[in-house]
Amino acid sequence: MLVLAVDTATPAVTAGLVELEPATAGASHPAAARTIASRVRVDARAHAEVLTPQILECLTAAGRSRSELEAVVVGVGPGPFTGLRVGMATAAAFGDALGLPVYGVCSLDAIAADAAADLTEGAELLVVTDARRREVYWARYREGARVAGPEVCKPGDLDTGAATVIAGSASHVDFFDLPVLPVETPSPAGLVSTAATALLARVAPEPLLPLYLRRPDAVENSYRSLDRTGA
C-alpha cells in the first residue's frame, strides 16, 4: 500500500511516500512502514509555500504517480494554528481530488513510534514539542501506548511522571533531566505506522479534527477585549 504522509505540526514541514505492508508471521509489529521518498524543511513560516512542492518532489523522486496512492495520513497536532491547518487542508485536498481516505494521527504519537526502536523494556517515554509562548505540547508513552496527554503547559509545570527518556524538540528536551532520544519531529514512516492498523484494515477514517489545545495566537479584537476584562 502506497501512502502519502504529511505533517506541519512542528517547524519541520514534512512530506513523504511510505510503502506499508503487513508484517510477516511472528513479527513483533503488525506492519512494516518503509519510506521510499521524503522531504523535510525546517521553517515555521514556510508551511504553505513548500508542502505541496515537497509532495510533488517525493512522487518524482520515487518514480510514482498520484494514481498509485491508496491513502493519506496527516499529523493533526497538537501544533500552532496556522501551520497545523496548512498540513491538514493540503492532506484533505489531495484526498478529495484523488478519492482517497485521509487518516489523522496525533503528531506526538508519530514521534513516539519513531522512538520506539530505541526504547528498552519497561521504559516510559516523554515527548515534547514547541508550543510557543514558552510552553510545550507533551504526552507520555509506555509499551507503545499513550498513557498521558496530549496537553500544553510551561516546562516547569510539566509532571514527567514515571518517564525515563525523552524525545522531541531539540530546543526543549534539555529542560528536563532525562536521557534524550534522537527523534525531534514526526517522520513519514512514524505517521504511517501510527495509522497502520486502520490503513491495513481499510477502516473508514474519522473526520479530521485538529488538536490545537488552545485558541490561536491571532484572535479577534472582541476576544482580546474579553481576555482583558475577564468577562
Instruction: Write the pLDDT tens digit of every residue in 90-121.
Output: 999 999 999 999 999 999 999 999 999 899 99
Alpha carbons 181 and 57: distance in angstroms, whole number: 29
Q: What is the pLDDT of residue 22?
A: 87
Question: How many CB atoms are located within 10 Å of the residue 147 CB?
Answer: 14
Helix (H) or strand (E) holding 215: none
Query: Which residues are paired to 102 by β-bridges?
Result: 72
Residues 208 and 6: beta-carbon distance below 8 Å: no
What pLDDT, on the 0 to 100 scale, is given for residue 25? 56
Contact 6, 177 (CB under 8 A): no
Mean pLDDT to the nearest integer, 20-36: 77
pTM: 0.90
Q: Which residues of 202-218 are buried (b: 16+ CB within 10 A; e: fewer)?
A: eeebeeeebbbbeeeee
pLDDT at 5 over 50: yes
Q: Kindly state the average pLDDT of the residues 18-29.
A: 75
**Side chain identity at 47, as an amino acid letter?**
H
**Residue 187, pLDDT above cutoff 70:** yes
Averaged confidence pLDDT in the chain: 91
- Domain(s) labelled CATH 3.30.420.200 in the chain stretch across 108-175
CATH superfamily of this structure's domain 2-107+186-201: ATPase, nucleotide binding domain (3.30.420.40)
Question: Which one, of 98, 90, 84, lies nearest residue 186 by Cα?
Answer: 84
Q: Does domain 108-175 have CATH number 3.90.800.10?
A: no
Q: What is the location of CATH 3.30.420.40 in the chain?
A: 2-107+186-201
